[in-house]
Structure formats: structure tokens, C-alpha cells
Structure 1
């Protein structure tokens, strides 16, 4: 059930500390002028999810958003045996009929794969499985085995015809690098039909915002420190859109003193060793999600690659703790 919060006075600052699988964010929401807060949280797709809405239609907005969220999670979760992605993967080598939503997100995954020259690739699943990131039986693969499995990774081999999807035998789709952003965009679009002042959506650490706390306010988001997980490196200020972070602290294991994370370069089969985290700020959540993954796995190439995207903001934290950020964002270091 939704939680209806108490009234918020002009001088109250709500500090929302999000300790989630993704990254740590503090969001400062100011001056809601006694707008009532409506709130719901839970676990979907094995990740923490929360919806916060302020305004007259907040209760209805939260309810409808949650219903849409559950629907999309049910069809896009590759581990859910009733999902359409599971259906595609378990029938590789055959054409599979799926919904318009699934076609839409797969088409977007292919689009961002092309846009990033394959650094983002939704067919990376066999490599993640080989490293043990699915069953948590972590291991560094043998080079020969890795080279063999890399032949199963190629987004160009996904075929779509009308409502049908085909992947070659042995290939699997994993939308973990784009599904959260896709769902956020769908929910943010849905919010436009309600009389609300503002909304904060959090899916596994990726944040989407709607409206503004006040006309002269921005949303302040503090980006998690990749090594001091109860601290932050600085704040980014946005009016709209989404912030997504990919980091080597989310899912990883250490062997012989080397940290290996689940963000694998589809071209090499290995994680990169230069960057600890990449945050991407975009008006489109799906873009922030996919590109934070792509920029992370490509390493320091991301410092120049981001310029292909005019409205994109990027924050990179390197292994030596140096911070680089694109000049087109309002970012304040701690």
C-alpha cells in the first residue's frame, strides 16, 4: 500500500539517503510548500525500488506508476521464468512472439549498441555467466574458454520482425544495462497526466526526477564515493531527467589482490582496470543507463567519447581517485 506522508513545511529539507545496489545518492528536496508526500517502496527485479510523489494526485500517480512498474519488471527480468526475456533465451534458435514493450526495449538496446560501437551489448550474458556473476560462483575464466564464449556475444545477430524476436542458438539477452532506464522513462512519461508538483523515482540506484521542488530550485544529487560507500564525492544539480551510475563496487570479487567487477567489456571479455565509476546525466533515463555502462567498460576513452552526445553529462572517478567531469554540467566536488 502507498504511504501518505505528513505535510511538509517551507523550511523542511528532506534528505533521502539511498543505500542501494547501484550507488549512494542523497537528494535534497526543498520547499514543497506543504505538498503532501505519497510514497511506496519494494523489491522488483531483485533490486530496491521506490516512488515518491508530491501533489494533489500523488496517491493515484504512485498507484498507477507501481502497476506499470510491476508489469514491465515481469516481462523484462531475465531470471523470471514467466518473463518474455526468459522466453526468448530459453528458445534461442527460434522465433519468439513478444509484446510491444519488449520489442521497444530490445530495439533501444540495439540502437545504443550501435551508437557505442558495441561497448554496450545486451548479448553479454554468456560472459557474465562464465565469470560467475549470475550464480555467484566467481572465477577468472581460462583464456581459451573466454575466446570461445565471446563468439556468442554479438548484438548484430538479434533479429526483430514485427512482434517476433530471434536470437541464434546459444545466445542470450540480458537487459540489465538498460531496463531500469527504460522503465524510468515510461514512468516519468506517465506522470504527466497527473496534477503533481514533483516526483522522485529510484530503480536500483538510478534516479529519475519530474517537476521541481520550487521554480528556482534544482534537484541536488550526491554521487557515491566508490570506495567509501557511506560518503560521496560531490553533488550534481539537475532540472529534469535521470542520473545513472555504473561502478566496480556493485557486484565484484577479488582474487589474488585484483578486483573483478560485473561490468565486462564485450570486445575483450574482461572488466577494464582504469575507472571506479561513471555517472551519466541525461534527459532520457534509458540513455543514461545504457551509456553509463558503455562508458565504464570503455575506460578512459569515455572522456572524449561523450562529446558525441550534445546534451549528455558525465562524471568519471578513476582508480587513483581523480575526478573528471564534462564541462556542461553543474557539478560541485565535496
Structure 2
């Protein structure tokens, strides 16, 4: 039986749109290379694996790329009158994305994270890996352990169980879960300026924060290159808008029960938005076990249908939407007020709590 692999599906919560711009016709991964040109969009093959769309007419300043980043749908929208400059920005952004995937991917055997999990330690660790590990430790402390990248041990336990016994079976035994929990503790990781040392049997995943980090790095790259306006979605979404007179980007929070329905539209200028919801990846047929784990119980939290966070940076939004999924409302409120961010909590009965 094929091993389970977590994929963060786009219907988890964010539908990116923008003022005065329609969606690119036929822009799906399957149709990228062969989609016909239309009166308002034209496709260009930059390389065998990069196809971009350039608007014409009213959308003449818009360049769009879509693809995959760490197993999630990704999109980049660049607003610039110079098509060559915009194409160069896309190419540089994709290069940065692929470079960071070589650091954070769990499914590239030679990535820095894969080597850390395999060997238990990294000397002369990659700078980005060190930065994100320190970020993870920070958000773990901020959320009283609700965010913890060492839950990879739990993922492997559940994934192996359902691969061997089928998705209609009950989950792992309580004893097996308790054994795995003994290796879930980010504070037990030893991080120095150059080295990361794990405890025996411990493994790390950055699936709850790396998409946000990559989104931030690509946004920073575009800003530093002089770009004024873009929408960056490398698994999480962030707006770039240095022109105060330009319209804000808009992102729609989707209804977990009806993905075609938007619950609310959020304006983005230079903000980031992230959504986490267990319904995005069921491990079993009943949906009782998902890709989200409570680091304290070893089980999938059932407090909310989904959690969305608006924050200045995508790394923050990504980590906190993950952590808030297993935190009671009172604890979420405390962090929201401390950081001055905003959160949407969709309760099991469909009620929406907005915290700011």
C-alpha cells in the first residue's frame, strides 16, 4: 500500500483574489503548458518547468505563475509594466523557492531537514534551517508548546499505522501514542550558531511553518529588487504593496463545509494570511485523525473546523494558525492581544469567532 503523504490542499481556507483582476483562464497545473491563448492572457514557457502568464489589454501589467511549493498549491502575481522585469522576478522567485525546498523538504532525501532527521544532528547547519528552527522554538514558547515541529514522530506513527492496517481501522494504541509523545519536545533540541542536535528518536517537520517562511523570503526578494506590488502565495499568502494609492489585495476565507462559499473577505496590503484545518488531510476514513496533532495529547484537535490568522509576516501567521488549532479560545485571545494580530476561529457548529 502506498505510504501516506501530507499535502496541504488549497481548499483549506484561502482563495486569493484581487481588485480589478480576474483569474487566469485555464490556469491549472494540468493545463499550464497547453492552455490556449486568450484575448486577455498569453502563456510563455520560461523553462521546461516554468510557464508564466502575461496579461494583455486591461491586465497588461500583470504576470502570473502557478505551481507547487512543499506539496501545496503556489501562486505568484506580479504587477509591473515591464514584462521582462516581471519574468525575471518570477524566475528568481522560483529559484529561491527551489533552494529553500532543498532545505525544508521531508520528501527530498538529500534536503537539510531529511539529513537532520536521518543523522540526528547537523554540523555547519544551513542558515535558513537554523533561522527557522529558532523561529519554531520561539513560537513553541509563545503558545505554551501548542506549536511543536517534533510532531513528525506522531505523523510517522499514524501514517505507518493506516498504511499497514487500512484507513478504516482504528488509530494506533494509546501505548504507542504515549511512546511517540516521549520524543515530542522542541525544547529538548540543542541549537547553537552552527549546529542542531536532536534527542534520540526525535524527528522534525516544518510543515506548519516552512510555507510561511518561504512566502516571506520570496516577498522580501521582490521588495528588495524594487518591485512595488505583488501577491505571493507559497503555501501561505502575503501581499506586497508599496503604493498607498493602489487597491488592496483581497483574500477570501472559505467555508470548511462548503469550499465554494466565502465566509469573509480579508484585505491585504503588506500583511500575511494563513489557514489551518484538519479537514484538509484526513488520515482515516472517519476524519478523526488528520495531519494536525496536539503535541500534548498526540491526537488530532477537534476544537475548530479551521483557524485563520492575519499577521505582518507569513511565518507568524503559518505557525500560529497551526498552534491555535489545539489551543482553547482563552489562550488564543491572549496571544492575539499580545501580538496585535487577528484570528478567525470556526467552531464545530459553524459559529465564527473573530479575535483581534
TM range (shorter): 0.7 to 0.9
More strand by share: 1
1:25 pairs, out of 15, 40, 44, with: 15
Match of 1:296 in 2: 325
Gaps of 5+ in 2: 1-8, 22-54
* Aligned CA-pair RMSD: 2.4
Q: Is the 8 A contact 2:14 2:275 kept in 1?
A: no
Greater CA drift, 66-75 or 308-317? 308-317
Residue from 206, 221, 226 that aligns with 2:256: 226
Q: 1:266 to 1:61 in 2, by over 3 A?
A: same
Distance 1:142 1:234, change over 3 A: same
Displaced runs of 4+ in structure 1, greater than 6 A? none
* Aligned residue number for residue 88 of structure 2: 60
**Structure ranking higher in helix proportion:** 2
Q: How many residues align?
A: 306
Query: Which position in structure 2 is the counterpart of 1:209?
Result: 239
TM-score, normalization: structure 2? 0.79
What is the rounded CA distance, in whole Å, between the counterparts of 1:43 and 1:168 in structure 2? 32
Which structure 1 segments of 5+ residues have no match?
1-18, 329-334
Helix, strand or coil at the partner of 2:10: coil
Per-residue Cα deviation, 1:102-131 (whole angstroms, up to 9, x for no partner): 111111111111111110001001111112
**Bigger CA drift: 134-143 or 43-52?**
134-143
Q: Which residue does 1:15 correspond to in 2?
A: none
CA deviations 1:70-98 (Å, max 9, x no partner) are 10011110221010000000002x45432
Q: 1:302: how far off?
A: 4.6
Match of 1:130 in 2: 157
Distance of 2:228 and 2:62 partners within structure 1: 10
Match of 2:213 in 1: 182
- Is the CA contact (8 Å cut-off) linking 1:22 and 1:245 kept in structure 2? yes
Q: How does 1:261-280 map to 2 (within 5 A)?
A: 261-280=290-309
Inter-partner Cα distance in structure 1 for 2:343 and 2:334 = 10
Conserved 8 A contact 1:30-1:214: no
SS at match of 1:101: helix
Residue 324 of structure 1 aligns to a residue whose secondary structure is: strand
Alignment-derived partner of residue 307 in structure 1? 336
Q: TM-score, normalised by structure 1?
A: 0.84
